[in-house]
Amino acid sequence: MVNLLELKPPVATTTLAFSCHSDDLRLHRGEEEPLLGHLLFGLFVFEQDRSSGLREPQPPPPRRQCFKLEVMIKTLEWTADGVRFIDQTRLPTEEIYLTSRTYREVADAIVTMVVRGAPAIGVAAALGVALGARDSQARTMADFRAEFDVICNTLAATRPTAVNLFWAIARMRETFAASGGAGDDPGSIEKIRDALLAQAQRMYLEDIAACEQMGAHGALLMPASGGILTHCNAGALATCGYGTALGVIRSAVALGKTIHVYADETRPFLQGSRLTAWELNKDGIPTTVISDNMAGAMMAQGKIQAVIVGADRIAANGDVANKIGTYTVAVLAAEHKIPFYVAAPWSTVDIDTPSGATIPIEQRNPREVTHMGERQVVPDGVKVENPAFDVTPNRFINAIITERGVARAPYQESLAKLSAGRALANFTFNNLSH
């Protein structure tokens, strides 16, 4: 078994070709040697030259190797018993896995942040839809359609800001309709169940592929050495196993870059100190946790060379909704002339939302602010604000990294081009050869 993070780039150039099998996501060394210290996931071949960076994709050779991606952390997975999650509310001191056996339990896992992170929320919802459809007792298509609507609406009501949630449910609705959901033949019910599960599992694989492709694009933007600040958790725990912002960092480390991560603790839910530090520590990537109010001081001391964060929704003009406190970090980065990057899959880009002003911001339970665990830290009777997200205006963002490519200002134009164009990574697993 190859540990991606232990690989060192060889001299000269190496060509990689790879494909994916849905039943096995482990990465194995192929026939060709030496294996380059970075993997791009998909049906493409790239050449990596240390002096010139990433070259244009080349057609695959007649005899392809097969590289299978090893998921770093199993954030979520489909099982015969239901959807299995790592319980992120118990980290970092306990690594506990829970199984949601009904779609309502999946919805509860999303609300209570057992599973969190926009990409993971989307795939969790898709698996929840498939679970609800599998367990439906409907005997007629009319009853099955009605129950399917309840399932989708229940999951859609969980968290309002992450657009990936609505993107995933929309895909499941399309699959339902395309598989015979509009007809009256009850014999179609089993076919629809199978199609929904296949679609949800396809989204799972696509998410890992997208994160790998983002890593390829974003690693080239990271400094050769130095400190990188991140806010919240945009890693394997926020996706199906590789990460967006942390996926870029992982890919940069795999390329041989010497990076030290500074992780904002990210009040009030502490995703940075609890989750980011936990998974980077497991990877052996040097990490220092700082409280949120230390970021400016670290920048002033020259300890931060770049900032990279994830996103829960990106508007058509490039405004970015992300975990509360991101806007503050972006302003500090601009003041210190430090590049500020956002990494997110294309499913996070909401072309139908013109600007950040119209992104709905989730308001969470005040107890997350008034208490640290079971200990109350705010006096009774004091009002509390607890928005889960803020919006960073596009003028503070140096680039938005997606699997389709890197967008730069003016974002209205660059995001529109990525949306309309046939980007390199714009594929689904329907296109994969087996």
Query: Is the CB of residue 121 less than 8 Å from the CB of residue 166?
Result: no
Average the pLDDT over 140-162 and give the result: 94
Helices 188-219 and 141-156: angle between axes, nearest 10 degrees: 30
pLDDT at 233: 96
Q: Which candidate, 393, 398, 432, 400, places its Cα nearest to that of 418?
A: 400
Is the pLDDT at 356 greater than 70? The verdict is yes
Contact 162, 123 (CB under 8 A): no
Exposure string over 89-118, b if 16+ CB within 10 A, otherwise e: eebbeeeeebebeebbbbbebbeebbbbbb
Residue 188 has a pLDDT of 85
Q: What is the pLDDT of residues 29-80, one digit of tens each?
A: 233 332 233 333 332 323 333 333 333 333 333 333 333 344 568 899 999 9
H helices, E strands: number in the chain: 12, 19
Cβ atoms of 260 and 244 within 8 Å: the answer is no
Instruction: Determine whether 312 is an active site residue.
Output: yes
Name, in order, each residue with C-beta under 8 angstroms of 366's C-beta and a sequence gap of 6 or more: 384, 386
- In this prediction the pTM is 0.80
Residue in 376, 379, 428, 426 with CA at minimum distance from that of residue 405 = 426
pLDDT of residue 426: 37
Which residues, including other chains, have CB under 8 Å from residue 177's CB and lie 6 or more apart?
none
Q: CA-CA distances (angstroms) from residue 18 to 41, 94, 209, 391, 433?
A: 7, 36, 12, 38, 11
More confident of the two residues 44 and 376: 376
Do the strands 258-264 and 225-230 form a parallel or antiparallel pair, or are they unpaired?
A: parallel
The answer, yes or no, to whether residue 369 has pLDDT greater than 60, is yes
Q: What is the mean pLDDT of the chain?
A: 83
In the predicted structure, residue 409 carries a pLDDT above the cut 80: yes
CB 76 within 8 A of CB 109: no
Residues 6+ apart with CB under 8 A from 312: 118, 161, 162, 163, 164, 321, 322, 323, 348, 389
Closest CA to 314 of 386, 385, 234: 234
Overall average pLDDT of the 377-389 stretch: 96
- What pLDDT, in 10s, does the model give residues 76-113? 999 999 999 999 999 999 999 999 999 999 999 999 99
Q: pLDDT digits over 309-346, tens only? A: 999 999 999 999 999 999 999 999 999 999 999 999 99
Which of the residues 207, 264, 292, 312 is marked catalytic?
312
Tens digits of residue pLDDT in 276-296: 999 999 999 999 999 999 999
Please identify which residue in the block is written with the tokens 């040097």.
286
Quick check: helix, strand or coil at residue 331?
A: helix
